[in-house]
């Protein structure tokens, strides 16, 4: 799978990871767990490592922890989760719980979810990074209206990662966020690459353009994901699914030829014409 460097360290990260919102909020046993284990196996077999979760996602952290424990894979996952609460003590409690649920002494990326009480949590994150408990620090938001808040926070404080929305139908991040992150050396993790699934309803009756084969795309999901990861400021993208078929589809977007700037324009023009 294609990799990109995390600007603050140069560490390579595979461009396709998996999000866990909704799809991993299930019982941490039986066939529900088996299916999520298979989804993660598909990610690892394809060369992916990034798993994004949050205490906001119900049982998702517990399910990721249980799936990883049962899988016993040789692949080292890149675990990303979040703190999503108000107050210093509540934040520490919540993050401590995430270590337990994920079954790991180290969390690769701790993000402040939707910037909730971010100035309170940041000193704890900095201290834990010093101690090696977490490896990278990030902030997240999921709406276009949150992009300016993220940029303002980046101007105030240094972060390794920003997680924000960017998709073929939602390109506001190109205005300020992506150029700023590229200039400042901040990694971008993209959420909602399919507009939470909404993109698929628009293309339902439309075939892929013939020239999709030039960038090794065999599905609309790959078309949407390749559009995102071919932007030079993007580090990785975390599509959400718990379906085996979708997981196989999505990891394939990290392989093969990627569009250049001209082809990206053509992709967007085609999408806009539908």
Interacting residue ranges for ligand NAP, rule: CB under 6 A:
19-21, 23, 52, 113-114, 140-142, 163, 191-197, 200, 221, 238-243, 246, 249-250
Closer residue to ligand NAP, CB minimum distance, 168 or 238: 238
Q: How far is the CB of 191 from ligand NAP (least distance, A)?
A: 3
If the CB atoms of residues 217 and 233 are measured against ligand NAP, the closer one turns out to be 217
Least Å distance, CB 262 to ligand NAP, is 26
Of residues 19 and 259, the one with the C-beta less far from ligand NAP: 19
Q: Which of 5, 26, 7 is nearest to 15 (CA)?
A: 5
For the CB of residue 115, give the shortest distance to ligand NAP in the complex, in Å: 9
Residue 257 CB, shortest distance to ligand NAP, in Å, is 19
User: Measured from the CB of residue 24, what is the shortest distance to ligand NAP in angstroms?
Assistant: 8
Which residue has 């952290």 as its token pair?
61
Residue 6 CB, nearest distance to ligand NAP (Å)?
A: 18
For the chain, the distance separating the N- and C-terminal CA atoms, rounded to the nearest angstrom, is: 30
CB of 93 to ligand NAP, least distance (A): 20
Alpha carbon dihedral 239, 176, 138, 185, in 10-degree steps, equals 110
CB nearer to ligand NAP: pick between 6 and 249? 249
Cα–Cα distance measured from residue 40 to residue 247, given in angstroms and rounded to the nearest whole number: 8
CB-nearer residue toward ligand NAP: 141 or 264: 141
Q: Which residues contact 95 (CB under 8 A, 6 or more apart)?
A: 83, 107, 110, 124, 128
Confirm if 48 and 1 have CB atoms less than 8 A apart: yes
**Sign, CA torsion 167/255/45/133:** negative
Give whichever of 10 and 40 is closer to ligand NAP, judged by the CB atom: 40
DSSP for 177-210, written as a single string = HHHHHHHHT-EEEEE-TTGGGHHHHHHTT-PPPG
Q: Say if residue 133 is exposed, middle or buried (CB neighbours under 10 Å; 0-12, 13-18, 19+).
A: middle
185 contact partners, CB below 8 Å, separation of at least 6: 7, 8
Tell me the two tokens of residue 40.
């993660």
Residue 14 or 240 having the CB closest to ligand NAP: 240
């Amino acid at each position: 799978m294609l990799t990109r460097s995390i600007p603050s360290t140069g560490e390579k990260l595979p461009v396709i990871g998996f999000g866990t919102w909704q799809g991993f909020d299930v019982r941490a046993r039986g066939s529900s767990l088996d299916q999520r284990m298979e989804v993660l196996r598909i990610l690892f077999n394809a060369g992916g490592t990034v798993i994004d979760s949050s205490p906001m996602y119900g049982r998702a952290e517990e399910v990721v922890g249980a799936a990883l424990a049962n899988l016993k894979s040789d692949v080292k996952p890149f675990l990303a989760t979040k703190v999503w609460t108000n107050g210093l003590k509540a934040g520490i409690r919540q993050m401590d719980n995430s270590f337990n649920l994920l079954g790991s002494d180290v969390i690769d990326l701790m993000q402040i979810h939707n910037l909730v009480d971010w100035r309170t949590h940041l000193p704890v994150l900095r201290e834990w990074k010093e101690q090696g408990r977490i490896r990278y620090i990030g902030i997240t938001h999921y709406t276009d209206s949150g992009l300016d808040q993220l940029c303002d926070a980046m101007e105030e404080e240094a972060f390794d990662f920003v997680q924000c929305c960017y998709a073929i139908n939602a390109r506001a991040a190109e205005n300020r966020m992506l150029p700023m992150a590229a200039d400042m050396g901040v990694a971008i993790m993209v959420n909602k690459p399919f507009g939470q699934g909404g993109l698929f309803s628009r293309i339902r009756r439309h075939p892929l353009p013939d020239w999709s084969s030039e960038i090794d795309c065999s599905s609309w999901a790959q078309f949407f994901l390749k559009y995102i990861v071919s932007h030079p400021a993007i580090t990785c993208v975390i599509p959400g699914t718990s379906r085996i078929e979708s997981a196989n589809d999505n990891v394939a977007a990290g392989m093969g030829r990627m569009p250049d700037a001209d082809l990206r324009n053509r992709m967007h023009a085609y999408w806009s014409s539908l």
